[in-house]
Structure 1
Amino acid sequence: MNFQGLQAKYRRLFQESTAWKLLRADNAPIILAFIADLFSDESEVPFGRARVALDAELERCRELGIWETETTGAAYLNQWIRSGWLREMDDKLTKTDASEVALRFCQGLDQRSTGTTASHLRIVQEAVRDFAVAVSPNADERIALLEQRKSELQREIDALNAGVVTQLSEVQQRERIREIYQLASVLTGDFRRVEDEIRELDQAVRVQMIEGGSKRGDLLLSVMEKEMLLAETDAGSAFEGFFQLLCDQNRSTEFKDQLRSILNRPVSAQLTQQQHQFLSRLMRELSHESERVFHIRRRTEESLRAYIESGAALENRAVDKLLHQLERLAIDLKEAGTEPKTSTSLSLPVGPIQMSSPDNMRLRMPDEKLNTSGVEEQTNSRIPNALMLDCLDTVKVKEIAMLTRDTLLKHGPMTIASIAARHPLTSGLEELVAYLRVARSVGATTLNDKEKVAFLDKQGVRLEATIPKFLLTADLFPDSIEEMAL
């Protein structure tokens, strides 16, 4: 690409890129610092807490004389949401892909590392070797590459059996563990991009419905085609690949154990407290992010389905047509030199106008006095009856949580139906609800389909219920069950 082409490309990015707009905002240092601090411990923050935190920071800046305006924190948050730097859903704030890119750029300026390090070269060499094996159509060439890797591993095994243990130097250890953090820190960016693409899909379908005269069947087909394309994008395929790894019990367990082993070694002192905390809860954070993507995709599908079935697109198209007609008539009158107060016989099909006043409101009469003449006073009994004792025999949710965690530690990731198959439900619907409460409390991943659970009530009657399908893993549970909000 020549100079003119690159100049046009960068000019377009300069004008359209949300991340670039954030970096060149007047108060970019304050905005980036607040976003980084607000989401340092969690990926979702209630809007109210963010507003209070921003008001406190702005007041402190006013006292120091570095902030002059009296604009409230809520106004700034709404402005940042409109600018695409934050996203609000269900009264909770999250970062967008644009803010992730801007923060990563700033962190790269402060934490620059040499681009020719041995760690980078090793990662590139391993990636090239694995890719060469994967894309080679020649079976003999694949076998030769795999045999070469096998011989390298065998030499290392022979050296260990001979008592030769090669240790990495402190510089190499520091370099590699920081490289692990850098690679892990960009994982959440894929989820932000998937969220943006889902919302762009929603917007594109709605615009297509309003501007065109497509039928409902054609629109549903368009939605399904766009969803298939979404899964084939870089962000979508990254998410699908991650979810497959999450469901792989051996890979996820191995990854979690190895990560815990690294963080328990002295080399973890090379990480900051924030980096150490991020890696220690990486699997839980990724599970939470995947659950959020599923939630957004499910809400988008439900919203589009309701929008299509309600016929709101036809109403919007009729309103747009009516406004266009009104604008055309106004332009014609202006071009004809008609005075604004001139009476005309023009009319628009807007329907009858209904007017009312508070005098037309009918007030409700207060309820009549309750008749208690037939009520007899009875003395409370000090001896509980059998019905009361039966009601007190409830399911203990914390015990259900402990049983679930122990089962997951022993057998790996499972759904509620799989757990119920190993530990049959005998206390009826209340016990099933307890499992659902545990899944919601730990933030288990919600899958797109549903599952059926068979159980017995307290009278021994066999029942069957259809529930959402949750994927539970042991790493979602805290170290102490008492910390769970049940």
Structure 2
Amino acid sequence: MSEIAGELARVREAFDKPTLRLLDRKWAPFVLAVFKSAFSRDRRSVQADRLHSQVDAYLADLRSVGSEVPGKNGRALCVQWMNDLWLYRETGENGEEQYSLSSHALEALLLVDSLSRDRALISESRLTTIVDSVRHRATQANPDREARILRLDQEIAERTAERDRLQDGGEIVTATDEQMHEGYANLVDLITQLPSDFKRVEESVAAMHRQIVSDFRGEERPIGEVLDEYLAKTDALMSATAEGRAFEGAFTLLRDDALLQDVKNDLESILDHPFATRLTTAERRTFLGTVGLIRKGIDDVLTQRNGLTTT
């Protein structure tokens, strides 16, 4: 296969995924507007009948101002979006059916949001993030003991010199408003990707749940033998998929309460800088809610995993 033919095949495969299928449809602006209006960071799930009624209300509202909208009613549209893998329907803790956005819908919303707001441009903050990450990974990748010690010695020397300078009364240089705003935009770019990342892990676990139950029902071997095999599968659940392995790696950090408290304190310190007067109340609240977003994402994944273990 030629290079261009290979690239065309990869692009076609990407366009066949639910995220790009959503963006490529005639009614994409309407669907995404509904998702943005009905769901939020604080409202991740909506009771099924309520969402059907909300969509009906959105349709009527848009028709009244002359906007072209789909011909189906709210319930039919929600079912269609669920079949298109943009909505996920499950039974909530109260026993009622509820909808939540799939990772594909969250990714599409993330892309639209990034195109409709001022994105973090190439800046000192963004380059520093890249350089620090490259340095950290290079240190981890290098098996040479002496090289690691040398790099640590360099970092210790730099930090010691800065500490001594400050202790001797050296000038404290604070970041300018523009530098802080660039850094804030860079952080927001990273933070807004978290919901879809967590959702992909949830969906990975849920898909495995359905597959295990389906396979279990189709088994004809002795029940003890089957149970042993499926219990082994659930034990290796998080290492069986790329999403699960990534989550397990991050979970070591995410479950560190002291680290998350430090993150919360650092977020507050960032907003204490004068640049933050340019932010809206909603932007400040969302930024400060980052730790809560992380905790909720962890809880949702663990709830999905515990459901499979219970089954």
Q: Would you call these one fold, judging by a TM-score over 0.5?
A: yes
Deviation at 1:110? 2.5
Partner residue of 2:56?
A: 55
CA 1:274–1:114 in structure 2 vs 1: closer, same or farther (change >3 Å)?
closer
CA 1:144–1:244 in structure 2 vs 1: closer, same or farther (change >3 Å)?
same
Q: TM-score, normalised by structure 2?
A: 0.86
| Alignment partner of 1:201 is 2:202 | no
Deviation at 1:255? 1.3
Partner residue of 2:108?
A: 102
Deviation at 1:26? 1.6
Partner residue of 1:393?
A: none
Deviation at 1:182? 1.3
CA distance in 1: counterparts of 2:21 and 2:123, whole angstroms: 32
Partner residue of 2:295?
A: 287
Q: TM-score, normalised by structure 1?
A: 0.57
CA distance in 2: counterparts of 1:296 and 1:84, whole angstroms: 18
Deviation at 1:142? 0.7
CA distance in 2: counterparts of 1:203 and 1:81, whole angstroms: 16
CA distance in 2: counterparts of 1:54 and 1:263, whole angstroms: 37
Deviation at 1:297? 2.0
RCO greater where, 1 or 2, for CA within 8 Å and sep 6 or more? 2
User: Bigger shift: 86-95 or 219-228?
Assistant: 219-228
State which of 153, 156, 178 in structure 2 corresponds to 1:150. Answer: 156
Structure 2 counterpart of 1:18, which letter?
P
| Alignment of structure 1 residues 170-319 onto 2, 5 Å | 170-209=177-216, 213-216=220-223, 217-218=225-226, 220-222=228-230, 224-225=232-233, 228=236, 230-231=238-239, 233-303=241-311
CA 1:210–1:13 in structure 2 vs 1: closer, same or farther (change >3 Å)?
farther
CA distance in 1: counterparts of 2:192 and 2:177, whole angstroms: 23
Partner residue of 1:26?
A: 26
Partner residue of 1:365?
A: none
Q: Percent identity?
A: 25
Q: Residue deviations 1:119-145, cap 9 Å, x none?
A: 221011111111222222122111110
Structure 1 unaligned spans of 5+? 304-486
CA distance in 2: counterparts of 1:205 and 1:18, whole angstroms: 24
CA distance in 2: counterparts of 1:160 and 1:48, whole angstroms: 61
CA distance in 2: counterparts of 1:229 and 1:2, whole angstroms: 37
Where 1:240 maps in the other structure, the secondary structure is: helix
Partner residue of 2:94?
A: none
Larger Rg: 1
How many aligned positions are there? Answer: 302
CA distance in 1: counterparts of 2:44 and 2:153, whole angstroms: 44
CA distance in 1: counterparts of 2:240 and 2:272, whole angstroms: 38
Structure richer in helix, relative to its length: 2
CA distance in 2: counterparts of 1:28 and 1:179, whole angstroms: 27
CA 1:273–1:84 in structure 2 vs 1: closer, same or farther (change >3 Å)?
farther
Where 1:89 maps in the other structure, the secondary structure is: strand
State which of 161, 175, 179 in structure 2 corresponds to 1:168. Answer: 175
Contact 1:58/1:67 (<8 A) preserved: no
Where 2:236 maps in the other structure, the secondary structure is: helix
Where 1:71 maps in the other structure, the secondary structure is: coil
Partner residue of 2:142?
A: 136
Partner residue of 1:12?
A: 13
CA distance in 1: counterparts of 2:38 and 2:233, whole angstroms: 38
